[in-house]
Structure 1
Amino acid sequence: MTVATGRMVAGRYELSTLIGQGGMGQVWTAYDRRLDRRVAVKLLRPDKVAGQEADELRRRFMRECRVTAQVDHPGLVTVHDAGSEGEELFLVMQYVDGADLSDHLAEHDPYPWQWTVAVAAQLCAVLSAVHAVPIVHRDLKPRNVMVKQDGTVTVLDLGVASVMDTDTTRLTHTGSPIGSPAYMAPEQAMGGAVGPYTDLYALGVLMHELLSGEVPFAGSTALGVLHRHLYEPPLPVRRIRPEVPEALEALVLRLLAKDPQHRPASAQEVYEDLAQLLPARGTPTGAPLDPTRPFLRPHTPWPDRARTPAPQPAPVAPAPPVAEKPDVAAAVDEVKRLLGEGRITQAVDILGAILPAAAEQHGEHSPVVRTLRKQYAATLMDDGQYRRALPELRRLADERAAEAGQADPQSLRYRYEAAQCLEQLGEPAAALAEYRALLPYYQNQYVSGDPQLAHEVRRRIGHLLLALGDRPAAHDTLARLVLDVERLQGPGHPMALEVRRTLQWLGQVRG
């Protein structure tokens, strides 16, 4: 796409300099005329992404921007604004003064192993906060990491890769993976379910590259790279740089485990291992772009000669407001209005606050409370708050099953959504067990048979098996699924085409 310097986006952001360009769009420096500050603007073209409807991508884009804007961490780029204009989507972020990690590596070759530890530790702090939401970055790579002048690391593009990805597969119509194959975990490229373990694999690739100067698996084609990810062991970095500590080499190899279950359990666990290798506190050199500086003297001003501000008097705390009995009916009307305006986060807060009052006024098992709880769970799901939605859905499922039986369609639906939460929370084994428990109900036409939903559950089972590294079982599950979908819906059905592509890709890699 062609964009001219000086163009105004959303009547507010004046584009200045093109600083990045790819298949999905462009990144510009720009000026926010309203607040007179420099910002970065990413422009995306929905029609450039294969296999997705533009309207659906716009909806996903706004949802992901809303969710990611809730993550509060100094190592994550701040999202200022987002929206659409004409055929484009735009994302306005803070402008980060520094160098991306790819350029940083090129300028410091060989990269000091202490710097690798410091960069990785900062990335773990960011990933830990992101995964707690939960969000999976999906596209962690050096070009999406900035090293600022004071040595702190900032992660870019959180949520954008999720929008450009589909819910089901990373494969385009041509059978090529979307994204960066060199940093892509095997289960992600194969179309399996992603989770925190996926980002940890990408972190391992990134650390290997910083330590050795090369990614662990390269090739002339995406298929060749994926085959190496799946079947070749990575070269231990100490064979290239013997001065690298054994513990650091061992950590990188754990992060690059083929089976997600063999990788570290969390970013927090990786950080604890890295903490043993961080440089001791001392005096920074004062040089810019040194990623060890935040650990040498944490939270010191930059530059070091910055003056200490004068102490300010402590503010006087206001008197606490007098609690009023909430008006449940008025709150429900307000929630409807907010949802109609797309203000989902605010609606969630009101629903969460009004539920206890409604239970006190009407009774915990009253129709009013049940309706509010259903709305609360659905809104939490729409807002991406899966950790909070999961117990609500389980409660609703249990209550409905106690009243109408285990095969009740509504109870099954709650359980299905709870399984989706487990999947999003990066618990593939638990999600797989729940989907498998649900499948017989959807396949039994005399109980709650729903062939299309049964197909969707089987598809999710196949992708979770891929995520868990059981490729033979995944291949068998998806091969039987595609035959059933084609028999019921025809060979041109979108799910049949999609599963066929995944099987073709899986067969090529296996061969």
Structure 2
Amino acid sequence: MSAPGRVIAGRYELSTLIGQGGMGQVWTAYDQRLDRRVAVKLLRPDKVAGQEADELRRRFVRECRVTAQVDHPGLVTVHDAGSADDDLYLVMQYVDGSDLADHLAEHDPYPWPWAVAVATQLCGVLSAVHAVPIVHRDLKPRNVMVKPDGTLTVLDLGVASVIDSDTTRLTHTGSPIGSPAYMAPEQAMGGAVGPYTDIYALGVLLHELLSGNVPFAGTTALGVLHRHLYEPPLPVRQLRPEVPDALEALVLRMLAKDPQHRPASTQEVYEALVPFLPAHGTPLGPLDPTRPFLRPAAPWPDRARTPAAQAVPAAAPVDQRKPDVAQAVDDVKRLLGEGRITQAVDILGAILPAAAAQHGEHSPVVRTLRKQYAATLMDDGQYRRALPELRRLADERAAEAGMADPAALQFRYDAAQCLEQLGEPAAALAEYRALLPYYENQYATTDRELALEVRRRIGHLLLALGDRAAAHDMLRALLYDAERLHGPNHAFPGEIRRTLHWLGQVRG
């Protein structure tokens, strides 16, 4: 249907296939115009015959319109939609994190306060969806992303249906829309759906988080649907005795066969969950869904500290075929020439392990790629990711050629710039001070100019740290040397002179 590198609508370049069904695919992609990652959903109406193809087109148009109406931080943002060749496409926000199914698999047993936090956040999202009014109709862990700050994003409103008396039901063919394990009895029977249908699915999801398994499983979809219709769910406390009685009772109400016996709204479910939310404590690291309640509106945890050196660069996934290193290098050169830095960064990050396996970790090819990767990260403003790469390059080069090697010094200088940009003045100051003697011992004009620049940065960092006396002494001596090298009318001593004038006013 599609392949990596295909450009949709002259703008969105497909990268990695991340989901596929009978009628469509979901890809990570790059917006060439804005140089950002996006997700692209493609549908093929021609895969469905006759009237059903027309219905799919109408459903797609409806999806785009109604999804765009919902404004909630817990829902994926729709950027664009249209048709290209035989495909219908929907361009959405790229969401970083882990889907809830993987999150559950990585934490066994799943802490029950986490389960409550997940369900509570989903209540907020579903309330916004139901207010449009829309029914999601396919709520499941694979459609929920846990972001690094612990907040959730619901991904797929693609099978949503507008709750309107004059809207033709999309299940008129007799094929229920949704996933059997999370499907409410009325949905399985092809009956009318409403917010109560999503409440049932949320109950299934909450039961799964608390117990480790969905309440109704089977070897066939028909068998699963039969159990939804006729069997009672196993109370979660029989599997997890530490779950509070009232929480178990809420889950059983949400899983009632009769929609009238379920909570009346997601607002009601939310209010019932609030008493079980943690009221104090410290989040247990990134991807902790209780974080929004423990520290409301707090910054993302991984955006407030500098990472240590890492052996393998973290990057968004790209094409899963065996990478061609030479072709990737050519692609990076082309992308950089076109100003598409974000995509170039991801290709470099993904190609490095393959290049290391093919040529050796310390080969000239890999070293060159890593230099380009670090430089491109800096060009893209990704200083937090660039810093460990630069530190590693500096250490390796110094071990091979000595601490005074120009390349090793340049890597350290770039790392110090990253520390400045990351708001770590003390660490940056220490790095610049350690570098300065090496540059001052050189006699080339470029090294002397770089020594002056390092001294200027040291003076400014001293100001940032509140040591005005030391900053004044550093900048005054710097002005004398800069005028000797460049002359009094050069821009560099002029800038130092202005800083000293301002500093003298403040000190006075």
Partner of 2:156: 157
Partner of 1:361: none
Partner of 2:275: 276
For the pair 1:72 / 2:71, whether they are aligned, the reply is yes
CA contact (8 A) 2:98 2:145 kept: yes
Query: Partners of 1:4 and 1:25 in 2: how far apart?
Result: 13
Residue 170 of structure 1, CA deviation: 3.6
Query: Secondary structure in 1 aligned to 2:134?
Result: coil
Query: Partners of 1:81 and 1:305 in 2: how far apart?
Result: 29
Equivalent residue letter for 2:296: P
Query: Partners of 1:28 and 1:253 in 2: how far apart?
Result: 37
Structure 2, unmatched stretches of 5+, are 306-508
Query: Partners of 1:200 and 1:290 in 2: how far apart?
Result: 23
Equivalent residue letter for 2:129: V
Partner of 1:30: 29
Residue 304 of structure 1, CA deviation: 7.3
CA contact (8 A) 1:211 1:237 kept: yes
Equivalent residue letter for 1:31: Y
Residue 288 of structure 1, CA deviation: 1.2
Query: Partners of 2:271 and 2:196 in 1: how far apart?
Result: 16
For the pair 1:260 / 2:263, whether they are aligned, the reply is no
Quick one: structure 1 residues 217 and 58, their matched pair in 2 at CA, closer, same or farther if it must change by over 3 Å?
Answer: same
Q: Deviations over 1:290-309 (max 9, x none)?
A: 101110000011137749xx
Query: Secondary structure in 2 aligned to 1:276?
Result: helix
Q: Deviations over 1:195-220 (max 9, x none)?
A: 00000000001111111111111112
Partner of 1:453: none
Partner of 2:249: 250
Partner of 1:333: none
Q: Which moved more, 1:247-256 or 1:18-27?
A: 18-27
Partner of 1:446: none
Quick one: structure 1 residues 25 and 15, their matched pair in 2 at CA, closer, same or farther if it must change by over 3 Å?
Answer: same
Query: Partners of 1:124 and 1:199 in 2: how far apart?
Result: 10
> How many residues are matched?
301
Query: Partners of 1:43 and 1:151 in 2: how far apart?
Result: 29
Q: Could you list the runs of 4 or more consecutive aligned residues of structure 1 that deviate by over 6 angstroms after TM superposition?
A: none
For the pair 1:167 / 2:171, whether they are aligned, the reply is no
CA contact (8 A) 1:25 1:44 kept: yes
Equivalent residue letter for 1:152: T
Partner of 2:40: 41
Partner of 1:298: 296
Partner of 1:509: none
Q: Deviations over 1:249-300 (max 9, x none)?
A: 1111000000000000000000001100000133334x11110111000001
Partner of 1:201: 200
Query: Partners of 2:298 and 2:272 in 1: how far apart?
Result: 25
CA contact (8 A) 2:159 2:177 kept: no
Residue 84 of structure 1, CA deviation: 1.4
Q: Deviations over 1:464-488 (max 9, x none)?
A: xxxxxxxxxxxxxxxxxxxxxxxxx
For the pair 1:145 / 2:144, whether they are aligned, the reply is yes
Structure 1, unmatched stretches of 5+, are 308-511
What RMSD over aligned residues (CA atoms) do the two structures have, in Å?
Answer: 2.0
Q: Deviations over 1:405-448 (max 9, x none)?
A: xxxxxxxxxxxxxxxxxxxxxxxxxxxxxxxxxxxxxxxxxxxx
Query: Partners of 2:6 and 2:228 in 1: how far apart?
Result: 43
For the pair 1:183 / 2:182, whether they are aligned, the reply is yes
Equivalent residue letter for 1:293: R
Identity %: 86
Query: Partners of 1:50 and 1:265 in 2: how far apart?
Result: 39
Query: Partners of 2:268 and 2:8 in 1: how far apart?
Result: 42
Residue 222 of structure 1, CA deviation: 2.0
Query: Partners of 1:176 and 1:54 in 2: how far apart?
Result: 14
Quick one: structure 1 residues 306 and 188, their matched pair in 2 at CA, closer, same or farther if it must change by over 3 Å?
Answer: same
Query: Partners of 2:158 and 2:15 in 1: how far apart?
Result: 24
Q: How does 1:348-359 map to 2 (within 5 A)?
A: none
Partner of 2:229: 230
Equivalent residue letter for 1:77: V
Query: Partners of 1:137 and 1:176 in 2: how far apart?
Result: 17
